[in-house]
Amino acid sequence: MGQPLILALDQGTTSTRAIVFDREGAALAQASRHLVQSYPRDGWVEHDPEAIFADSVAVIREAVESAGRSMADVAALGLSNQRETTVVWERESGRPIHPAIVWQDRRTADVCDRLRREGAEAEVSKVTGLLLDPYFAATKIAWILDAVEGARARAERGELLAGTIDSWLIWRLSGGKAHVTDATNASRTLLMDLERQEWRDDLCKLFRVPKAVLPEIGDNVGRIAEVSPELVGGGLSICGAAGDQQAALMGQGCIAAGDAKATYGTGCFLLLHTGEEAPRSSARLLTTVAARIGGRATYALEGSIFIAGAAIQWLNEELGIEGGPAAVEALARKARPGHGVMAVPAFTGLGAPYWDAEARGAIFGLTRDAGLAEIAEAMFDACAFQTRDLIEAMRQDAAGAFAGDHPLRIDGGMAQSAWFAQRLADLIGAPTAPAANPQTTALGAALFAGLGAGLYESVADAAEAPKSTAMMKPAISEQVREARYGSWRDAVARALVKRES
């Protein structure tokens, strides 16, 4: 038997992936499955929970086999998941009663608008650190219980369970023995008291979610559950679990106040670690749990961009740019300088700091000599400008944030492009540091699991996994940067939908 391995299961929005790591954080083998999204109506996004579970079991097996090792060599399994995506299932059979409602889904926007008009948002934000938005899990659970005939009565009788994807997978992987979640995922539901780390009866009543359906809230590390041997063979313990963005925060080694990372996947999520302080944002950002270990929580300010890499995918799939993201980048690099095209990819509304669920995508500044190259560059730039929006908001809420040469650590598919990393630095006016290991979400899950299995002595020990030494510094003038940002803010103002007071 060689050195102990750590297995990470990264269940994301568009794929399910398992990666085998060694103790030093090196990826030894991996396996993945594409996850199909369905769009039954405008603004609705769904997944098949059974497909997520089946793919998870398959990639766990395949990754270990690809490493040439056996399950007995795996010291622990770590889980990271797409947050807020919600499942309701039968306690007895484990069968989902409805497709999973994905975090991008906007079907409950009217509920959130009504509660906002009724004056509920201030207290909800004070208790949970969140805003009233269909992004979060509470209104998704209630919608399913109302939409499926008899579901609400069954939930009241204790026949149904609900949770985010972590809870769903842990339940199924454990053979129905563990209905648990971790504090990072629980903090994304609108139902958890951020400081007390417990479900609130008044919030459950407000959002019409029976408390009995909810999982137990636990730490990010420890003996969370045992995987049923008939699924993967041999003993395999889940020793770490975290929402994908908190896992990436760990995978980037951002464990101290002032550290910040941005993950560019389907969307973009920027987290600023705030230590043991849980600041409430005055700039419409979210306060979320960064990690909970030994019952002790640390926190982060978070800004969520709903569409980042998905905008590049849209160019591939809907505008016919063949060759994947690399082809879009190659086209963008041919754009005419100073073309003035601005894209606002609000395909599913705008997230922080705007929180406009009704906003939709738009392209401004088109002229006769503008073409796909200019639109492609504008889509990349939109990711950078939205990041700048979040940075400016965080500077309001956390004194000293993003000061000096303290870099923004970046990861995800787009961050692997040196061109984009430099363009991002130029447009946000701060250094960027691309991750040495592009799979930071999976790595973070593995580090949490290794900590839970006793392979690391402390969080600091686990965070010593390889970090990037590369850094891109801004290379354009402040005057040019501010002019471009001003054009972006003008474009966003045009895309926002004005609400009735």
Q: What pLDDT, on a 0 to 100 scale, did the predictor assign at position 355?
A: 81
Q: Residue holding tokens 């395999």?
A: 236
Of the options 1.10.3720.10, 3.40.50.300, 3.40.830.10, 3.30.420.40, the CATH number for the domain spanning 253-434+471-501: 3.30.420.40
Residue 349 is given by DSSP the state B
Are residues 247 and 445 in contact, defined by beta-carbon separation less than 8 angstroms?
A: yes
Question: Which is it for strands 198-199 and 192-193: parallel, antiparallel or unpaired?
Answer: antiparallel
pLDDT tens-place string over residues 439-467:
889 999 999 999 999 999 888 888 886 56
- Secondary structure tally for the chain: helices H, strands E: 17, 22
Q: Give the dihedral of Cα atoms 62, 67, 71, 75; nearest 10 deg.
A: -120
Rounded to whole angstroms, the Cα distance separating 129 from 119 reads 16
Q: What pLDDT, on a 0 to 100 scale, did the predictor assign at position 385?
A: 96
Average pLDDT of adjacent 10-residue blocks, the chain of 501 residues: 86 94 91 94 94 96 91 93 96 95 92 95 94 93 97 95 97 95 97 95 97 96 93 89 94 89 88 89 89 94 90 92 92 93 92 85 93 95 95 84 79 90 95 87 95 91 73 93 95 79 35
Q: What pLDDT, on a 0 to 100 scale, did the predictor assign at position 501?
A: 35
Long-range contacts of the stretch 455-462 (C-beta < 8 A, 24+)? 455/4, 455/6, 455/23, 455/75, 455/76, 456/23, 459/255, 459/291, 459/293, 460/255, 462/250
Among residues 485, 459, 464, 487, the alpha carbon closest in space to that of 474 is found at 485
Which parts of 403-482 are beta strand (E)?
Answer: 408-411, 432-434
Please, which residues bridge with residue 32 across strands? 17
On the question of a common fold for 5-245 and 253-434+471-501, the answer reads yes
Q: What pLDDT, on a 0 to 100 scale, did the predictor assign at position 477?
A: 94
Among residues 139, 71, 79, the alpha carbon closest in space to that of 105 is found at 139
DSSP collapsed to 3 states, 202-259: HHHHHHCCCHHHCCEEECCEEEEEEECHHHHCCCEEEEEEEEHHHHHHHHCCCCCCCC
CA 251 from chain centre, in angstroms, equals: 14
Q: What pLDDT, on a 0 to 100 scale, did the predictor assign at position 339?
A: 93
Q: What pLDDT, on a 0 to 100 scale, did the predictor assign at position 499?
A: 47
Assigned CATH for 5-245: 3.30.420.40
Rounded to whole angstroms, the Cα distance separating 141 from 138 reads 5
Backbone region of residue 184 per phi and psi (left: phi > 0; alpha: psi in -120 to 50; beta: other values)? alpha
Q: What pLDDT, on a 0 to 100 scale, did the predictor assign at position 247?
A: 94
Rounded to whole angstroms, the Cα distance separating 272 from 249 reads 9
Domain extent listing, the chain: 5-245, 253-434+471-501
Burial of 426 (0-12, 13-18, 19+ CB in 10 A): buried
Are residues 472 and 432 in contact, defined by beta-carbon separation less than 8 angstroms?
A: yes
